[in-house]
Amino acid sequence: MQVSVINTSGSETGRTVTLNESIFNAEPNQHAIWLDVKQFLANQRQGTHKTKERAEIARTTKKLKRQKGTGGARAGSMKSPLFRGGGRVFGPQPRDYSFKLNKKLKRLARVSALSSKAKNGGILVLEDFNYSAPKTKDFAGMLNKLSVTEKKSLLVLSETNKNIYLSSRNLQHHKVVTASSLNTYDIMNAQKIILSEKSLAVIEQILA
């Protein structure tokens, strides 16, 4: 699959790169994508929700009224869930929502997500660039020239670049990641995937 390389001005450089067919032109497995996204979102949950049950409530245990003759049901401790301020029945408790997926399935999910984006024209290949200092205005201008300002975008770099990351940090809906940390959720959440030239080799090394 041949794709033109564009520069930060949004114009073609006259060069093309060949995208690996096994990564960018595979048959998407929607169930694998769903599982990987589900795991990613589950792993983000803190799971610290908690309510007190009747054993944890600090209230009097004195019997409220006599056992019989009142015309109502029997009542004991004020900790009972039947009373306002009492313990909650089967309330949420702290738990870990994370679960395991096999490495092969996670790889399949990423390949499926990238192939799905490529087939829908959602991938751009950008020539490598750098900033001498963090400059959000320059990064925003580049996005505007690439016609992705109004879309969710994901810029994939071959390695960590502090200046590019800091330049993008204040822009909503635009994210910068390295090829080694690329995940299925970020791919599917973005409308446009912008791959730097050098990141292609890293992605191919990991997924091919």
Does one domain contain both 102 and 83? no
Q: What is the average per-residue pLDDT within 63-85? A: 91
For the ranges 32-41, 70-79, 180-189, the lowest mean pLDDT is seen at 70-79
Q: Strand 2-6: give its sheet, edge to edge.
A: 12-18, 2-6, 123-126, 192-196, 153-157, 174-178
User: Do 137 and 85 lie in a common domain?
Assistant: no
pLDDT digits (tens, 9 = 90+) for 122-139: 999 999 999 999 999 999
* 153-157 and 192-196 beta bridge pairing: parallel
Residue that terminates a domain, selected from 62, 91, 120: 91
Please, how many CA atoms are within 13 Å of residue 55, restricted to the half-sphere of its CB?
A: 2
pLDDT (0 to 100) of residue 1: 82
Residues 30 and 118 in one domain: yes
pLDDT (tens digit, 9 = 90+) per residue, 151-171? 999 999 999 999 999 999 999
Residues 24 and 81 grouped into a single domain:
no
Indicate whether 41 and 141 sit together in one domain. Answer: yes
146 and 87 in a common domain: no
Q: How far is CA 172 from each of CA 40, 143, 149, rounded to the nearest angstrom?
A: 21, 12, 10
Total structural domains within the chain: 2
Range of the domain at 76: 51-91
Nearest of 166, 103, 155, 99 to residue 132 by alpha carbon:
166
**CATH number of the domain to which 34 belongs:** 3.40.1370.10
Statement to judge: residues 132 and 32 lie in one domain? yes
Do 24 and 121 lie in a common domain? yes
